[in-house]
Amino acid sequence: MAKKILLIGFGNPANGDDALGPAIAEIFEQKNIPGLTVDCDYQLTVEDSSNAAENDIVIFADASLNCNEPFNFEPVKAKESGSFSSHSVEPCEVMALAEKLFNSKAKGFILAVRGYDFEQLKEGISEKAKSNLEKAAGFLEKLLKNENFENIKVISCS
Amino acid sequence: MSTSKRVIIEPVTRVEGHGRVSILLDENNNVTQARLHIVEFRGFERFIQGRAYWEVPVLVQRLCGICPVSHHLGAAKAMDKIVGADKLTPTAEKMRRLMHYGQMFQSHALHFFHLCSPDLLFGFDADPMIRNVIGVARKYPDLAVQGVMMRKYGQEIIKATAGKKIHGTGAIPGGINKNLSIEERDVFLKDINQMMEWSRGALKIAKDYTVANLEKLKPFGSFDSNHLSLIRSDGAMDLYHGNLRAITSDGKKIFDQVDYSKYLDYIVEEVKSWSYMKFPFIKSIGPEKGWYRVGPLARVNTCDFIDTPEAEAARKEFMAVTNGKPNNITMAYHWARMIEILHSIEKINELLHDKDLQGTDLVVKGQKRYEGVGLIEAPRGTLFHHYKINENDQITMANLIVSTTNNNEPMNFAVRKVAQDHLSGVPKITEGLLNHIEVAIRAYDPCLSCATHAMGKMPLKVTLYDYQGNEIDSKTKD
């Protein structure tokens, strides 16, 4: 039976390469992969924990300023942290809330796609980041087809 | 020559902007000045110039990942004026209202359960490692689940009315692009009683806490101020539409039932050399005393009544605490916010039973205009959108006053009051001071993302300066 997988692409499409997360979501929304639910938002919030708990695997797709090129794929562990007044939460906090509030057993992963230009109110992904996006999407598609999420530590592809 | 010292509080990360507090001391280590600095990015008004007016309700959502729906509706209301739609069809107006109450409900739920409840449940002085949403999840798991599910309910309403969570397209100039199907309606009706029940519970927590701690809360970051909000023609609270009313700290009307398209005759935005954020004030009173508060506290203070029974009963209890006069206690924002959450869910319930939501008459148009103003009561307060277009339908001017900008001076007052009460005589930023400043700012639920027109985290940095301007201490809260 296919695993239930949630893919959340997040970021602000108006901030240049910060659009990489939503772009991943857009790509996979059109693929209709069995068992895969795709969500997209500007940022992660507490209710993502409830959605996470309804799945076996949760993949957070985000742009990164400093990960290896072209992308990183690694597990995300539930981790608690306090924040002053942010309305958003981090992937580790989503996983922590999912565990604590909804007894989630879901495994979390981050697909971090390397971006370069995060200028505010700049539309469009840079050419270099587009190439990274293509490679990351290709990697993720293979992974989703194989459903082999065991023993993943850090995957940094070139 | 100044004989003051200065202390600062600052943060930065990927996006939401900086919350930085600077505190200046005199030779005797008394606080002479305390300022909240928010690095406002005013690029959006320029970015949008040249774009077609019909794109604006979608484009403005890029301003903020926290309250995109408020910007979506504020801009759509301005564009209604541009297309000459002075009165929307019942279906269009009610769909927009449903979207707006969904936004209010989810936003207030997020603030109360995620950001404010740790302060209320654990106390201001509790260790920040416990005083957070995970701490609530551990000690009060049922409450934490309620917060998550209420937020989710509101988000689903937004999705059903706006089309999607990111870059919703529901509201268009002159109306709306979809109605609510019976199937969609029934999904929301299934959980409405649960949402009502949880809203009552959240209101009770906020009310009981405020009443039990009234003497402690009265002076905390509090001060007298004017209050401003939209108001319905009969004086009722109306979060979606109305005219402007401003009152003094003791309830006298400064102006009432002002057509908001004339806002520039009543409101002025002052620029100060030390801040990128503007300071709006009421023109007839002037910058010194004309600043005002917006948001839940202001709205409950300015309205004559609330047109839903449970929220109205709650409003009466709230007003009784100050003998019917406006409440100027900063921490009363939380109670007022929960009155609004109950009002919002009562309104959602009312709308879900209204057959107009299944209507098919969605858009109206009239005589084209070249200028439009749209105001809405966003979760954090009055939001102004003002645009001009040219003959090619392109935007030539945009002016936005976001809720957090309206609350700029009040937040500065709150910080100053807390600093004076908790720092004077001690030239050091203690954990307690940091906590108290944080709690005072948080009462306003500032959306720095919105005010700075950027997104992400909002850490806090406090810096202390001596009377010669030398930095003597600094602490950051991520």
Q: List phi, psi (to 5°) of A126.
A: -65, 155
Closest CA of chain B from A17, distance in Å: 12
pLDDT tens by residue, B147-171 = 999 999 999 999 999 987 767 899 9
Tokens of B472: 């003597």
Look at residue B3 in the predicted model and tell me its pLDDT. Answer: 40
Look at residue B12 in the predicted model and tell me its pLDDT. Answer: 26
> A-chain residues within 8 Å CB-CB of B15?
12, 15
More confident residue, A139 or B40: A139
Look at residue B455 in the predicted model and tell me its pLDDT. Answer: 33
> A-chain residues within 8 Å CB-CB of B477?
84
Which stretch of DSSP H or E encloses residue B172?
Answer: strand B171-172
Question: Alpha helices, DSSP H only, in B117-176?
Answer: 117-122, 133-139, 141-162
B119: contact with A, CB 8 A cutoff: no
* Partner residue facing A101 (CB), from B47, B145, B166: B145
For residues A98-121, give the mean pLDDT. 90
Q: Count CB pairs under 8 A between chains A and B.
A: 128
Cα gap A133→B290, rounded to integer Å: 51
pLDDT tens by residue, B274-294 = 666 788 999 999 999 999 999
> B-chain residues within 8 Å CB-CB of A40?
164-166
> A-chain residues within 8 Å CB-CB of B43?
120-121
Tell me, rounded to whole angstroms, the distance of Cα B451 from its chain centroid.
Answer: 11
Look at residue B274 in the predicted model and tell me its pLDDT. Answer: 67
The model's pTM: 0.90
Burial environment of residue B26 by CB neighbours within 10 A (0 to 12, 13 to 18, 19 or more)? middle
> B-chain residues within 8 Å CB-CB of A82?
128-129, 131-132, 134-135
Cβ <8 Å between A86 and B165: no
Cβ <8 Å between A85 and B44: no
Cα gap B58→B54, rounded to integer Å: 8
Look at residue B217 in the predicted model and tell me its pLDDT. Answer: 92
Look at residue A153 in the predicted model and tell me its pLDDT. Answer: 67
* Partner residue facing A84 (CB), from B43, B165, B478: B478
Look at residue B14 in the predicted model and tell me its pLDDT. Answer: 27
Place of tokens 């201001």: B124
Look at residue B102 in the predicted model and tell me its pLDDT. Answer: 97
Which residues of A touch chain B, with CB atoms under 8 Å apart? Answer: 12-15, 22, 39-43, 45-47, 49-50, 65, 80-89, 93, 96-97, 100-102, 118, 120-121
Closest CA of chain A from B134, distance in Å: 6
Cβ <8 Å between B114 and A93: no
DSSP letter string, B56-72: HHHHGGGG-SSSHHHHH
Secondary structure of residue B409 in the 3-state scheme: helix
Cβ <8 Å between A46 and B151: yes
The pLDDT profile of chain B, 478 residues, written as one tens digit per residue, is: 334 444 443 332 223 345 678 888 888 888 888 888 765 555 778 888 999 999 999 988 877 767 889 999 999 999 999 999 999 999 999 999 999 999 999 999 988 988 888 888 888 777 777 777 778 888 899 999 999 999 999 999 999 999 877 678 999 999 999 999 999 999 999 999 999 999 999 999 999 999 999 999 998 888 999 999 999 999 999 999 999 999 999 999 999 999 999 999 999 988 777 666 788 999 999 999 999 999 999 999 999 999 999 999 999 999 999 999 999 999 999 999 999 999 999 999 999 999 999 999 999 999 999 999 999 999 999 999 999 999 999 999 999 998 888 998 999 899 899 888 887 677 888 877 888 888 888 898 887 655 443 333 446 778 888 888 888 888 776 5
Interface list for B 6-35 with A (CB within 8 A): 11, 14-16, 19
More confident residue, B241 or A84: B241
Look at residue B421 in the predicted model and tell me its pLDDT. Answer: 86
B159: contact with A, CB 8 A cutoff: no
* Partner residue facing B458 (CB), from A13, A85, A93: A85
More confident residue, A44 or B175: B175
Tokens of B215: 């003497």
Pairing type for strands B395-401 and B267-270 reads unpaired
Indicate if ipTM > 0.95: no
Q: List phi, psi (to 5°) of B84.
A: 75, 25
Three state DSSP letters for A87-131: CCCCHHHHHHHHHHHHCCCCEEEEEEEECCCCCCCECCCCHHHHH
Cβ <8 Å between B166 and A50: no
* Partner residue facing B458 (CB), from A45, A47, A86: A86
